[in-house]
Structure 1
Amino acid sequence: MTEQTYYVLAALLDGPRHGYAIIKHAFELSGGRVKLPVGTLYGSLDRLADQDLIELDHEEIVAGRPRRYFRLTGDGRQAVVAEAARMQKAARLVLRHTAVRPATA
């Protein structure tokens, strides 16, 4: 799973969000590392929907334009949780290894 995909899914853990809200929340969750251009986001959302990891929650019209809200599916929630566990395990391995061997300058 790419970092961008991970943060898109993570941005939906608290509930449905529209595109711009996903961009902002992914940026915040990543500590400013993940900056999703609009085109990249909507390509990711389409791909995630095709994989049944997210689905359309609802649409509303704002200033004459449709705003689509997306939510995680059960599979999407499982995928982001599994990825978080995988990263945690990988980090523990590295941190344990570096704790055994002192860093050299």
Structure 2
Amino acid sequence: MKNDETPAVERYLPLKPNWFHVLLSLATGEQHGYGIMQEVLERTDGKIRLWPATLYGTLERLLDADLIAEVKLRRSADGEDARRRYYRLTALGRRVLAAESMRLEDLVRVIRAKRRIARSEA
């Protein structure tokens, strides 16, 4: 990551959980709102449910922050609903997701180290 990009990325950290889950859902490609909602539900074993009002409010805020963009021109696959709005990560969104993922991985490393210390003292 370049130094001049760091402040732009860091101002979003730590990410709100809803933002993180939406960005993570878009990491592998374009997705429509219902698809994002379903992926988050499946990935979290039903622990996190993005209800429509929450999801679409989150999508609007992510659009305003330039972390995601709406896909304007998209080939429609057979059976797809043309009314669906598809979203993708922006370059900034991808950098923010990477930075947040690294932050969370660092946190998990600290937790694991603390557990090892606590077990060895018991």
Q: TM-score range by the shorter chain?
A: 0.7 to 0.9
Asked if 1:79 is matched to 2:96, the reply is: yes
| SS in structure 2 at match of 1:67 | coil
Runs of 5+ consecutive residues of structure 2 not aligned to the other structure: 1-14
CA RMSD of aligned residues (A): 2.2
Asked if 1:55 is matched to 2:82, the reply is: no
| SS in structure 1 at match of 2:88 | strand
- Residue 104 of structure 1: how far off its partner (Å): 9.0
Counterpart position of 2:9: none
Runs of 5+ consecutive residues of structure 1 not aligned to the other structure: none
Counterpart position of 1:38: 52
Aligned partners of 1:84 and 1:31: how far apart in 2?
A: 20
| SS in structure 2 at match of 1:55 | strand
Aligned partners of 2:121 and 2:54: how far apart in 1?
A: 40
- State the structure with bigger RCO (CA 8 A, min sep 6), 1 or 2: 2
Q: Percent identity?
A: 34
Counterpart position of 1:15: 29
Q: Which has the higher strand share?
A: 1
Report the count of equivalent residues: 103
Aligned partners of 1:42 and 1:34: how far apart in 2?
A: 15
Counterpart position of 1:96: 113
